[in-house]
Amino acid sequence: MTRTHLVCLGFCLFAGGCYTFEPVGIGDLQPEMQVRARLSAVQAGEVSDLIPGDDRLIEGEVIENDPQRLLLLVPVANANRRGRFETLNQRLELPHDGLLEVELRKLDRWRTGGLTAAGAFVIGYVLYRTLTGGSSGNTPGGSGGGPQDSWIPFGIPFGG
């Protein structure tokens, strides 16, 4: 297996993200919990004007949970305001009988750590190869008597 294959395999292992979802009972939900809910077809039709997309899965933050309904803060759009991105949210009231399943969003420490370590390794490797001049011998350089240019392996010159 070549180095490229190993990098692709490693990326695929951690591409699932840093979060997992675990099923949770509706009665166990507390304010500020991050959840994903699967809506019934009827409930999805009722909120289709408020939530973009045709998906019956919605993610949001629990604001309130009483015996009849669940109040979620759901992201609906991203806006660019003066060079700063903001997420626009909508409060969404969902009756418990309109929810087929609710899952709690949890941080997966192993995936997060593995992804962080892999990213640090790649950055370290690129820096090492760049700073030590570890190239295949075909990098352009200053053969005109001036200072030698340094090249990042992707062909972007820096130095002078």
d(CA 134, CA 125): 10
Q: What percent of the chain has pLDDT over 70?
A: 70
51 or 86, higher pLDDT:
86
For residue 139, pLDDT beyond 80: no
Q: What is the pLDDT of residues 117-135, one digit of tens each?
A: 887 888 888 888 888 876 5
Question: Helix 109-131 and helix 3-14: axis angle, to 10°?
Answer: 150
0.85 exceeded by the pTM?
Answer: no
For residues 56-83, give the mean pLDDT.
Answer: 88
Write out pLDDT tens, residues 11-32: 555 555 677 888 999 888 999 9
Token pair recorded at residue 124 = 């370290």
Cα angle, residue 51 at apex, residues 73 and 16 outer, rounded to 5° = 75
